[in-house]
Amino acid sequence: MVLSKTQRITAISVAVAALILFFVFRPSPLPVDSGVVRRGPLQVTLEGEGVTRVNDRFVIAAPVSGELMRVELEEGDSVRKGSVVVSLLPAQLDSREYREASARSGGARAALDEAIARQRRADLTLAQAERRFGRYRNLYGEGAVSKEAYELAENEAQTLRKESQAARSGVEAARYNYGALQAPVDRQLSKKPVKVLSPVDGKVLRIHEQSERVVIAGSPLVDIGDPSAIEIVIDLLSSDAIRVKPGNRVIIMDWGGERELHGVVKTVGPAAFTKTSALGIEEKRVNIVAVLSRNEPLLGDNFRVQASIVLREATDVLQVPVSSLFRGKEGWHLFVLEDGRAVDKAVTVGMRGTLQAQVLAGVKVGQRVVVHPTNELKDGMSVTAQE
């Protein structure tokens, strides 16, 4: 059949129009971001904020209530063991309290004298009974006295020995009581300051009270410690803390220095505590204590740091960006770029780090994968990859 010229022109026009409509309405390739499957080192870490603290910290407290004399030390000063850290003037008694204290002390002194007199009398009686017992023992051996008389002398001596011991204990108790009641009176008369000494060699970390003021017994005055013995306290969610073990490596970042610091986990807190997050949510958190492998002199007490605890690591594993993975019907999946199309692949995932994840099967080195896949992306869809 031979087409007329008009029919040929019409057929060509329809074909051109169909071709134009095809290109106009054809779906354009979906732009996607891509990453590369590669081999390399991988770490599984937990990130947390921490603070430094001195390992052996000594809080010097007021041993008595009284007036604190001005502390001459400054924070950062070195102190030696046994040197005077602070001095206090014990609280003074008013006239009525002084008379009452003197009366109590006088009564205790009289009781002490009475106890001493009882002890002397008991000692004299015991000495006489010991001599009698010695004579009866000799006479009993010669058959001059009866066994009953000998035993009575022995029992009397034993009884008086116990009474003498009780009398000596009474003297000691009376002496301690007198010393306790006389101490306020002696302090009132002497007005000597009580000197508080440093228990160790170290540096002054904090001065709680610098100026003169009245303090009560037990009030913290000065903190002393060795700033070179620094440890890091990192608080983590309790659900994360159970994955941490003593000996895990710790990397210290964002502490103010130019290089990273390294350490190991020393202890994992045995109990959690409640902490309110910035969003107002109460969380159960656990303190992880780490020690530095090498002392950093720029770090001091209560400095803020950012820590990364290494849970697992490997030097050479096949890995993909974590953002390329998504859950499918049967495990993990990702999209591999093949000939301009996104192909859905099932993969087996091993360790998962912060940015990279280990892939045990499903992809090969050098393949490009889609990162941050959207819900629009489907298997076999044409895409335009962007690095």
pLDDT of residue 334 exceeding 60, the answer is yes
Report the pLDDT value the prediction gives residue 25, as an integer from 0 to 100.
52
> Could you identify the residue written with the tokens 């070195």?
78
Q: Which residues pair with 191 in a beta bridge?
A: none
Q: Between residues 145 and 220, which one has the greater pLDDT?
A: 220
Report the pLDDT value the prediction gives residue 101, as an integer from 0 to 100.
84
Percent of residues, the chain, with pLDDT higher than 70 = 93
- For residue 321, being part of any structural domain is answered with yes
What pLDDT digit, counting tens, does each position of 208-217 carry? 988 888 888 8
Q: Three-state DSSP class for 281? A: coil
368 shares a domain with 322: yes
- For residue 19, being part of any structural domain is answered with no
Domain that includes residue 217, residue range:
62-91+193-223
Q: In whole angstroms, what is the distance from residue 121 CA to residue 238 CA?
A: 71
What does the block give as tokens for 201?
């060699």
Highest-pLDDT range among 88-92, 189-193, 319-323? 319-323
* Overall size of the chain counted in residues: 387
246 touches 227 (CB < 8 A): no
Report the pLDDT value the prediction gives residue 7, as an integer from 0 to 100.
64
294 shares a domain with 178: no
- For residue 11, being part of any structural domain is answered with no
Find the mean pLDDT for residues 300-319: 91
Find the mean pLDDT for residues 58-87: 89
DSSP 375: T
What pLDDT digit, counting tens, does each position of 160-174 carry? 899 999 999 999 999
pLDDT of residue 11 exceeding 80, the answer is no
265 touches 237 (CB < 8 A): no
258 touches 248 (CB < 8 A): no
Find the mean pLDDT for residues 92-119: 87
Would you give the end-to-end CA distance of the chain in angstroms?
56
DSSP 332: E
Q: In whole angstroms, what is the distance from residue 26 CA to residue 32 CA?
A: 18
111 shares a domain with 147: yes
Mean pLDDT of the chain: 87
Which of 115, 107, 87, 86 lies closest to 180, judged by CA? 107
CATH of the domain at 284: 2.40.30.170
Q: Which residues pair with 328 in a beta bridge?
A: 331
62 touches 209 (CB < 8 A): no
Q: Between residues 302 and 9, which one has the greater pLDDT?
A: 302
Find the mean pLDDT for residues 212-237: 89
Q: In whole angstroms, what is the distance from residue 367 CA to residue 380 CA?
A: 16
- For residue 15, being part of any structural domain is answered with no
- For residue 10, being part of any structural domain is answered with no
Report the pLDDT value the prediction gives residue 210, as an integer from 0 to 100.
86
In the chain, the number of structural domains is: 4
- For residue 112, being part of any structural domain is answered with yes
27 touches 382 (CB < 8 A): yes
CATH of the domain at 338: 2.40.420.20
319 shares a domain with 275: no
- For residue 2, being part of any structural domain is answered with no
122 shares a domain with 75: no
65 touches 90 (CB < 8 A): yes
122 shares a domain with 260: no
160 shares a domain with 247: no
pLDDT of residue 14 exceeding 80, the answer is no
> Which residue among 205, 223, 241 closes a domain?
223
362 shares a domain with 300: no
201 shares a domain with 244: no
Report the pLDDT value the prediction gives residue 3, as an integer from 0 to 100.
53
**pLDDT band (50, 70, 90) for residue 8:** low
Identify the helix (H) or strand (E) that includes residue 107: helix 95-142
Q: Between residues 22 and 180, which one has the greater pLDDT?
A: 180
Q: Three-state DSSP class for 142? A: helix
Report CA torsion sign: 58, 62, 64, 70: positive
**pLDDT band (50, 70, 90) for residue 17:** low
259 shares a domain with 280: yes
Q: Three-state DSSP class for 245? A: coil
DSSP E strand stretches across 293-328:
304-321, 326-328
**pLDDT band (50, 70, 90) for residue 16:** low
128 shares a domain with 169: yes
> Could you identify the residue written with the tokens 């969610």?
237
Percent of residues, the chain, with pLDDT higher than 90 = 42
CATH of the domain at 69: 2.40.50.100
> Which residue among 281, 314, 347 closes a domain?
314
- For residue 1, being part of any structural domain is answered with no
DSSP 25-49: HSPPPEEEEEEE-EEEEEEEEEEEE
> Which residue among 314, 339, 374 closes a domain?
314
Find the mean pLDDT for residues 309-332: 90
Report the pLDDT value the prediction gives residue 23, as an integer from 0 to 100.
52
254 shares a domain with 143: no
What pLDDT digit, counting tens, does each position of 112-142 carry? 999 999 999 999 999 998 998 888 888 888 8
Report the pLDDT value the prediction gives residue 387, as an integer from 0 to 100.
64
Q: What angle do CA 144, 146, 150 make, to 5 degrees?
A: 100
